[in-house]
Amino acid sequence: MVQRRLGNTGISISPIGLGTTKLGRNTDVKYPEPFPLPSDHVVRRLIDATLAVGINLIDTAPAYGASEQRLGSFLTEDKRDRLILCTKCGENYEDGRSTWDFSAAAIETSLHASLRSLKTDHVDILLLHSHGRDLEILCESDALDALTHAKQSGKARAVGISAKTEPGIAEACRSLDVVMAPFSEADTSLKAALERAHAKGVGILAIKGLGSGRLTPDKAIDFVLHQPFIDALILGTLSPAHLRQAVDIAERISLEDRI
């Protein structure tokens, strides 16, 4: 699969990324149907299929339950070298509820725990896992200091925020490398802010592109990947067939762009 540049980070990513909420958490999620957590066999098959179809971007988070630990169990050295790992900090999910802490100390602790779980010495992308008050996180905490330290220490190659608001995206452009945000044919409310951020060299990762499973996959993926300011779309699935379908759409779009 033809890869895309992630803004000005120097990182190249597949236009489809694997989201891994479903690997470790099935409570308080927004999918239309309940689902059991997958077996180890299903997780191994999913990771192998991800690499086989040319996807190199995997997204996880401490707030996704056991997702990081389960990924780490199957990320052998040869697989890790082929992957761009994205995780987050600031949110934790325990005992059926989320809590947030964007202090530098909490972020450092969270990152160290993520590295242990993922069995790696660095992540490629580290994002603040916003609770919706983006400006409060970016302007009223020392979260940015923690992200800067993570880059300087080599524990993260690029840093950013999983944002929810236009002001938050605008503020992120001042100092961050990457913005993750919801974007789909059903929700284009952040389009202008994301376009401006991308024009400034910020990498853009789209989430919720399928409306948490409520939109028609072919049409929804095609819509998101045709947007020139979207570097990649993160899809949460346990199905290798769904990944192959998404990759086929991405490859068709790449071919159209070259013609």
Q: How distant, in Å, are the alpha carbons of 2, 3, 8, 11, 63 from that of 231?
A: 12, 9, 11, 11, 24
Joined together, the tokens standing for residue 141 give 């905490």
DSSP class per residue in the chain: ---EE-TTSS-EE-SEEEE-HHHH--SS---SS--PPPPHHHHHHHHHHHHHTT--EEE--GGGTTHHHHHHHH--HHHHTT-EEEEEESEEEETTEEEE--SHHHHHHHHHHHHHHHT-S-EEEEEEE--S-HHHHHHHSSHHHHHHHHHHTTSEEEEEEE--SHHHHHHHTTT-SEEEEE-BTTB-TTHHHHHHHHHTT-EEEEE-TTTTTTS-HHHHHHHHHT-TT--EEEEE-S-HHHHHHHHHHHHHHHHHHH-
Check: pTM over 0.75? Answer yes or no: yes
- In this predicted structure, what is the pLDDT of residue 239? 95
At 121-141, the pLDDT tens digits run 999 999 999 999 999 999 999
The answer to whether 194 and 167 have CB atoms below 8 angstroms apart is: no
CA 118 to chain centre: 15
Joined together, the tokens standing for residue 46 give 């999913």
- In this predicted structure, what is the pLDDT of residue 258? 55
- In this predicted structure, what is the pLDDT of residue 214? 84
pLDDT tens, the chain, 259 aa long = 899 999 999 999 999 999 999 999 999 998 888 899 999 999 999 999 999 999 999 999 999 999 999 999 999 888 999 999 999 999 999 988 999 999 999 999 999 999 999 999 999 999 999 999 999 999 999 999 999 999 999 999 999 999 999 999 999 999 999 999 999 999 999 999 999 999 999 999 999 999 877 899 999 999 999 999 999 999 999 999 999 999 999 999 987 775 4
CATH class of 4-258: alpha beta
- In this predicted structure, what is the pLDDT of residue 33? 85
User: What residues does each domain of the chain span?
Assistant: 4-258
- In this predicted structure, what is the pLDDT of residue 32? 83
Q: How distant, in Å, are the alpha carbons of 50, 103, 108, 170, 210 from that of 241?
A: 10, 40, 37, 37, 16
At 35-81, the pLDDT tens digits run 999 999 999 999 999 999 999 999 999 999 999 999 999 998 889 99
